[in-house]
């Protein structure tokens, strides 16, 4: 006579086995969970902490060169204040970038690039952004004569980060940075369409702080150029703050 208990136990085991997901299904589900988690985490990091950009031009030689990949901290400005000497990424205030557009990568690749850029897995291009060094804070008086140093609040700057052989400025200018704005210049002054050359555009050459995406703090690619981007604090140490 069959053992009812044994039969019931066997039936329960068969039902449990039927409910247990197959090996392939379980792997697929776990992979999907990992991918979604990675995408959400990357999006959060890109939105609130760090974003990748690549360098398209020679305006920041030799600190940054074409095709360098950099990481930008989005905590500055924010929890941390902008400082003179910071390398900042900012949105075009209007008229800084040429009107010609980048080559069309095609609908499929364009959609993939846009999606990866949106979630932070691909460095943003330069269609709307620029990279320069912050020279003047709100209220600063910034000036230069051709062949002379850049002067901030009466203090001439010794700028060791300038590209070899370039002058601090090849045009004269004299400005007071508006409230909630910054004055920026490229390290390769002879090949940088920076604040000096945009005084006829909105803001008079100054960049609204609201346009600043963040502060560049490290070069991550190519490997041979990997390294921290340090603020040259000694250059601005003697610059007095404006009252």
Task: Encode 106-131: b = buried (16+ Cβ within 10 Å), e = exposed.
Answer: eeeeeeebeeebebbeebbebeebbb
- In the beta sheet, which residues pair with residue 81? none
Q: What are phi and psi of 176, to 5 degrees?
A: -115, 125
Q: Which of 46, 74, 132, 181 is catalytic?
A: 132
Catalytic residue, candidates 46, 59, 169, 192 = 59
The answer to whether 152 touches 236, Cβ cutoff 8 Å, is yes
Say if CB 55 and CB 67 are below 8 A apart.
yes
What is the C-alpha separation between 42 and 23, in angstroms, rounded?
A: 28
The Cα 117–Cα 213 span in angstroms is 14
Cβ-Cβ contacts under 8 Å for 31 (sequence gap 6 or more): none
46 classed as catalytic? no
Question: CA 9, CA 14: separation in Å to the nearest integer?
Answer: 9
Task: Report how far residue 38's alpha carbon sits from residue 32's, in angstroms, rounded to the nearest whole number.
Answer: 10
| Annotation marks residue 74 as catalytic | no
Which residue from 156, 137, 94, 118 is spatially nearest to 242, judged by alpha carbons? 137
Could you tell me the CA-to-CA distances from 187 to 113, 174, 238 in Å, in that order?
A: 29, 19, 20
Residues carrying an active site annotation:
59, 132
């Amino acid at each position: 006579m069959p053992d009812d208990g044994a039969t019931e136990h066997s039936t329960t085991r068969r039902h449990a086995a039927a409910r247990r997901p197959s090996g392939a299904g379980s792997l697929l589900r776990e992979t999907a969970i990992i991918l979604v988690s990675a995408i959400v985490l990357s999006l959060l990091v890109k939105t609130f902490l760090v974003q990748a950009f690549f360098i398209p031009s020679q305006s920041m030689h030799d600190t940054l060169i074409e095709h360098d990949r950099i990481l930008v901290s989005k905590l500055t400005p924010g929890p941390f204040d902008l400082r003179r000497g910071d390398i900042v990424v900012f949105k075009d205030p209007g008229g800084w970038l040429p009107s010609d557009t980048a080559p069309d990568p095609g609908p499929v690749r364009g959609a993939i690039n846009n999606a990866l850029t949106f979630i932070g897995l691909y460095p943003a291009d330069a269609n709307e952004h620029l990279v320069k060094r912050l020279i003047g804070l709100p209220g600063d008086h910034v000036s230069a004569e051709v062949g002379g140093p850049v002067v901030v609040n009466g203090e001439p700057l010794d700028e060791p980060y300038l590209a070899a052989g370039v002058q601090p400025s090849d045009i004269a200018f004299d400005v007071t940075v508006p409230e909630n704005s910054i004055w920026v210049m490229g390290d390769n002054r002879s090949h940088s369409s920076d604040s000096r050359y945009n005084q006829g555009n909105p803001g008079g050459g100054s960049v609204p702080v609201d346009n600043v995406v963040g502060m560049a703090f490290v070069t991550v690619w190519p490997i041979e150029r990997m390294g921290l981007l340090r603020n040259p604090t000694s250059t601005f140490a003697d610059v007095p703050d404006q009252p």
